[in-house]
Amino acid sequence: MASLREIKSRITSTKKTSQITKAMHMVSASKLSKAELNAKSFNPYMEKIQEVIGAIAAGAPDATHPMLETRPVKKTAYLVITSDRGLVGAYNSHVLKAALNKIRERHTSKDEVVILSIGRHGVDFFTKLGYNVAASVLGISDHPTFAEVKDVARDAVGNFIDGTYDELYMFYNHYISAISQEVTEKKVLPLTDMATVTATASYEFEPDAEAILEVLLPQYAESLIYGAVLDGKASEHASSMTAMKSATDNAMELIDNLTLTYNRARQAAITQEITEIVGGVAALE
């Protein structure tokens, strides 16, 4: 059995740990509120640009663009969004597991796959497995700006257009609420479902549909990636908050158990001392 000093030391160290995890929980909760607002504020822009492109696709069915065309698939790119740091519960493991399972399900060779990673965990994970990590973005801020991801987003779109790969999928954690995040797979390219989007207004296009698509389609695909990054950051802060809350609760429970053990051991030691004193007095009589 551990000595009183050892138990006391464990209680002290666990209390310090609980103070740290409680502080981290409060920080994550503060970051979450802004990240959630950022993710939700971006949705109206996404919906409007999708509506405009859908209106063009419906009004000019003969308009063509490489991003709208399905072609034989020789190589597929997967954009995986993870965190740079740990202490976020199962946030990273869930999205990495989902991405890996889909890759293994669809492909028989690693040569058919290109990995694009936003977040250090994704880079480390796929590099260790021997996949080609063609591009990565590390050190994304807690509240990302488009400037932070524009290079990888534009390269992803450009490489699809020039035929470097024939499909682009995203895997990220979709934010539902502070206690619920859902691993999401989204096909970014080719854009095969734009004609099904219903426009809520009529549009007139100048100079012509194809010229507008030339500008809007890359912006739309890049916006899908940026929106997923915002969504993922909100999920990351929510996961961190939940993990730190759980860690704090576990620490407090451990402190209670250790305190009970300490009190019992201390009581037993006192009882032993009293017994020894009484025994010594009895021996002197």
Stated pTM of the model: 0.84
Return d(Cα 230, Cα 4) in angstroms, integer: 50
Note whether 269 and 4 are within 8 A (CB). yes
Mean pLDDT of 6-19: 88
26-42 pLDDT, tens per residue?
A: 999 888 988 888 888 88
Structure-token pair, residue 239: 């996961």
Return d(Cα 244, Cα 249) in angstroms, integer: 9
Domain ranges of the chain: 25-242
Give strand pairing partners of 171. Answer: 80, 185
Return d(Cα 187, Cα 168) in angstroms, integer: 6
Fold topology of 25-242: Pyruvate Kinase; Chain: A, domain 1 (3.40.1380)
Closest CA to 144 of 108, 172, 102, 104: 172
Give strand pairing partners of 137. Answer: 118
Return d(Cα 160, Cα 77) in angstroms, integer: 9
The structure tokens 């932070």 sit at: 148
Q: Give the pLDDT band (50/70/90) at residue 93.
A: very high
Return d(Cα 243, Cα 249) in angstroms, integer: 10
Please state whether beta strands 113-118 and 76-81 pair in parallel, antiparallel, or not at all (unpaired). parallel
190-220 pLDDT, tens per residue?
A: 887 665 555 566 667 777 777 777 888 888 8
**Dihedral in degrees, nearest 10, Cα atoms 248, 253, 256, 258:** -100
Q: Is pLDDT above 80 for 280?
A: no
DSSP letters spanning 88-123: STTHHHHHHHHHHHHHHHH-S-GGGEEEEEESHHHH
Query: Burial of 67 by CB count in 10 Å (0-12 exposed, 13-18 middle, 19+ buried)?
Result: buried
Residue 149's Cα: distance from chain center in Å?
15
47-89 pLDDT, tens per residue?
A: 788 777 777 766 666 667 778 788 888 999 999 999 988 888 8
236-277 pLDDT, tens per residue?
A: 999 999 999 999 999 999 989 988 888 888 887 778 777 767
